[in-house]
């Protein structure tokens, strides 16, 4: 019974990991840019929500209405002002620049909020649950998974069905040819980064409700996001959700054996996927 | 152009392919409604010329004037909005977009005009049955037709075709060239880079021959004889 319960909890946790991973995957997909500050932006969004909650007493979920557009704008400006100057080269420049950004963000947050662990209080939803037979499933983890699926599904629809999505896919295929049909590739890149930070803002705020957070937590979240993307397979959004779920299940089942083994088990599953199926569960086979 | 000015005026253009100077003081003038062919050996600077006009190569000296407007500093995506479409060498179809999406993305600049998805499919019937196919799954000829169609979707005043027949079977090349009169009738001026000199002379009103980054010969096909073209092409005196 405990195992079944942990399995369900792990699957639900996957929704959160998938939300973290989506933006990372999107930025890499559109402009081959690995954003090492991705996790720190999630934490930044959580602190932004905290400031709003402290100032107004609003429910943390309502802060999404401010935090998500604000993070989109931040992402857009960051890409136009900084990251666009790093793409198109050998791939090392964006890694160095976002690594620097990560350190800057962590230290600014530390300066502003101290190293204390903080949390977002969402009220009753955090400790009420739905009884499914002999399993009790928390409403909040359910909401997390539903939100994760909605974010991925929404992004999938945007990419597949809209003019903006066509623009992003064309730019991802061939930025120069995209310019030749009138797409401003620098604008397309900035929209992609804006979307990435908007999705990771949702992830950061859900994280803040689920558990406590502190300024230095970003890099850990980045690793989970990487693992979800790689396990699921690069370039597949639904694969990312599956990857997040595999990681979530591995962590909760690992923690069942021994509390210290949760994160480790996740890493081991990730390594196993890298070793035996490097293109991921749903990715296209790697071609060189 | 009622005022007699050319549609495209390239004057004293120096162009670079990376760090390598590929054009030396090239001047080319194209009137509205013309079909102009650019011929020359590999490395003569033909592609660099078209890519510079399209705005893909930032480093240039000399001037490119389109409809009387100096294009210095205008980025490639805005030149599309002004009415210049380049169909690049190698087709460069977006593989993750379907045929129809490749055409739709070609209309991104939002210029009004006669070219729509339906009009392009009528011009290239070989694409009509493949609307939903992925762009990466087409044959070379279908890709070339799609690339031209994608360029037309921007309703350009000036269509630049780079190496239009490279790597295509002769029958496919003929089909591509059969589309030229319709493109022209829709009011589009065409500049085409062509390896096949016979084809270039048949299709074009005027021909420029580039040799090592300079214009070696220019004129209407009927005024040019084989010996002069050979001399301009290979740089030898016949």
Q: What is the pLDDT of residues A148-195, one digit of tens each?
A: 999 999 999 999 999 999 999 999 999 999 999 999 999 999 999 999
Please give the average per-residue pLDDT across A193-217, as a whole number. Answer: 96
Residues 6+ apart with CB under 8 A from A82: A97, A101
SS3 A239: helix
Closest alpha carbon to A273 in A238, A226, A237: A226
Q: What number of C-beta contacts closer than 8 Å exist between A and B?
A: 71
Kindly give the interhelix angle for A2-31 and A218-232, rounded to the nearest 10 degrees.
Answer: 90
A149 Cβ contact list (under 8 Å, min separation 6): A15, A18, A241
For A193, counting Cβ atoms within 10 Å of its Cβ (0-12 exposed, 13-18 middle, 19+ buried), the class is buried
CA B83 from centroid of its chain's CA atoms: 13
Chain A hits for B103, CB-CB cut-off 8 Å, are none
Report the mean per-residue pLDDT for chain A.
93
Q: DSSP characters for A49-108?
A: HHHHHHHH---GGGGHHHHHHHHHHHHHHHHHHTGGGTTTSSSHHHHHHHHHHHHHHHHH
pLDDT of residue A223: 95
Q: Could you report the per-residue pLDDT of A269-285, keeping only the tens digit for each?
A: 999 999 999 888 887 66
Q: What is the mean pLDDT of residues A215-227?
A: 95
Task: Report the C-alpha gap between B57 and B77 in whole angstroms.
Answer: 12
- Where chain B has pLDDT below 50, the residues are 1-2, 238
pLDDT digits over A56-114, tens only? 999 999 999 999 999 999 999 999 999 999 987 777 899 999 999 999 999 999 999 99
Q: With beta carbons under 8 A apart, name residues in chain A contacting B85.
A: 180-181
pLDDT at residue A288, as a whole number: 39
Checking if the pLDDT of A135 tops 60, the result is yes
pLDDT at B2: 44
Contact criterion met (CB < 8 Å) for A167 and B101: no
Tell which wins on pLDDT, A32 or B9. Answer: B9
- Set of chain A residues whose Cβ sits within 8 Å of the Cβ of B92: 174, 176-177, 180
CB atoms B109 and A181 under 8 Å:
yes
Give this complex's ipTM. Answer: 0.91
Chain A nearest-CA residue for B54: A180
pLDDT at B11: 94
Q: Which residues of A touch B53 (CB under 8 A)?
A: none
CB A182 to CB B80 under 8 A? yes
Q: Give the per-residue pLDDT at B4.
A: 63
Tokens of B164: 């239009």
**Token code pair at residue B94:** 């977006």
Q: What is the CA radius of gyration of chain A?
A: 19
Asked if A181 lies within 8 A of B150 by C-beta distance, the reply is yes
Q: Cβ of B95 under 8 Å from any chain A Cβ? A: yes
**Cα–Cα distance, B84 to B78 (Å, whole number):** 9
**Residue B67 near residue B157, CB atoms below 8 Å:** yes
Put simply, the answer to whether A181 touches B108 (Cβ < 8 Å) is yes
Closest partner residue to A180 (CB to CB) among B86, B97, B101 is B86
Report chain B residues whose CB lies below 8 A from the CB of A181: 80, 85, 105-106, 108-109, 150-151, 153-154
How near does any CA of chain A get to the CA of B192, in Å? 16
Closest chain B residue to the Cα of A181, Cα to Cα: B106
Ordered alpha helix ranges (H), B41-139: 46-54, 76-82, 99-106, 117-123, 125-128
In contact, A155 and A22? CB cutoff 8 Å? yes
Across the interface, do B76 and A179 touch by the CB < 8 Å criterion? Answer: yes
The minimal CB distance from A173 to the residues B55, B81, B96 is found for B96
Task: State residue A234's pLDDT score.
Answer: 82
Interface contact A182-B81, CB threshold 8 A: yes
Q: With CB atoms and an 8 Å threshold, state whether B56 touches A179.
A: yes
pLDDT at B66: 96
C-alpha distance from B228 to closest chain A C-alpha (Å) = 35
Whether the predicted pLDDT of A252 surpasses 90: yes
Quickly list DSSP for B212-232: TTEEEEEE-GGG--HHHHHHH
User: Which residues of chain B neighbour A178 with C-beta distances below 8 Å?
Assistant: 77, 94, 105
CB under 8 Å to A122, separation ≥6 — which residues?
A: A59, A60, A61, A140, A209
C-beta atoms of B88 and A176 within 8 A: yes
A170 to B97: CB separation less than 8 angstroms, yes or no = yes
């Amino acid at each position: 019974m405990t195992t079944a319960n942990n399995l369900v909890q792990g699957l639900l946790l996957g929704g959160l990991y998938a939300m973290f991973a989506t933006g990372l995957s999107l930025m890499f997909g559109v402009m081959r840019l690995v954003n090492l500050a991705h996790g720190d932006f999630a934490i930044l969004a959580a602190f932004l929500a905290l400031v709003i909650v402290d100032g107004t007493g609003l429910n943390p979920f309502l802060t999404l209405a401010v935090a998500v557009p604000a993070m989109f704008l931040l992402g857009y400006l960051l890409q136009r002002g900084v990251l666009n100057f790093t793409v198109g080269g050998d791939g090392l420049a964006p890694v160095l620049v976002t690594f620097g950004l990560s350190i800057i963000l962590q230290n600014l947050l530390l300066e502003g909020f101290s190293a204390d662990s903080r949390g977002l209080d969402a009220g009753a939803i955090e400790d009420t649950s739905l009884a499914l037979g002999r399993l009790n499933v928390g409403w909040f983890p359910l909401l997390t998974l539903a939100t994760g699926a909605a974010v991925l599904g929404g992004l999938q629809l945007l990419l597949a069905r809209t003019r903006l999505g066509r623009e992003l896919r064309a730019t991802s295929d061939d930025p120069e040819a995209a310019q030749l049909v009138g797409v401003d590739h620098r604008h397309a890149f900035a929209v992609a980064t804006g979307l990435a930070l908007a999705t990771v803002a949702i992830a950061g705020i859900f994280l803040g409700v689920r558990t406590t957070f502190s300024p230095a937590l970003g890099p850990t979240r980045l690793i989970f996001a990487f693992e979800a993307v790689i396990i699921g397979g690069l370039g597949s959004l639904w694969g990312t959700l599956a990857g997040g779920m595999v990681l979530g299940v591995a962590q909760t089942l690992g923690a069942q054996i021994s509390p210290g083994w949760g994160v480790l088990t996740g890493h081991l599953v990730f390594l196993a996927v890298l070793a035996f199926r490097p293109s991921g569960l749903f990715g296209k086979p790697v071609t060189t | 152009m009622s005022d007699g000015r050319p549609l495209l005026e390239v004057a004293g253009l120096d162009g670079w392919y990376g760090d390598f100077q590929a054009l030396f003081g090239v001047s080319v003038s194209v009137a509205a409604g013309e079909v102009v062919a650019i011929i020359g050996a590999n490395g003569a600077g033909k592609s660099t010329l078209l890519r510079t006009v399209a705005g893909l190569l930032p480093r240039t000296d000399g001037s490119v004037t389109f409809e009387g407007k100096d294009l210095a500093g205008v980025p490639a995506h805005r030149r599309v909005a002004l009415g210049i479409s380049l169909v690049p060498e190698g087709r460069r179809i977006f593989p993750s977009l379907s045929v129809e999406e490749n055409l739709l993305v070609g209309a991104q600049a939002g210029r009004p005009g006669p070219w729509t998805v339906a009009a392009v499919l009528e011009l290239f019937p070989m694409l009509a049955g493949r609307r939903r196919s992925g762009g990466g799954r087409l044959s070379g000829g279908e890709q070339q037709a799609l690339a031209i169609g994608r360029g037309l979707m921007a309703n350009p005043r000036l269509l630049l075709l780079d190496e239009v027949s490279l790597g295509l079977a002769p029958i496919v090349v003929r089909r591509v060239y059969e589309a030229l009169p319709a493109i022209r009738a829709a009011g589009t001026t065409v500049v085409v880079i062509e390896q096949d000199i016979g084809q270039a002379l048949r299709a074009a009103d005027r021909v420029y021959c580039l040799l090592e980054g300079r214009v070696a010969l220019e004129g209407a096909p009927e005024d040019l004889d084989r010996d002069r073209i050979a001399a301009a092409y290979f740089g030898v005196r016949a």
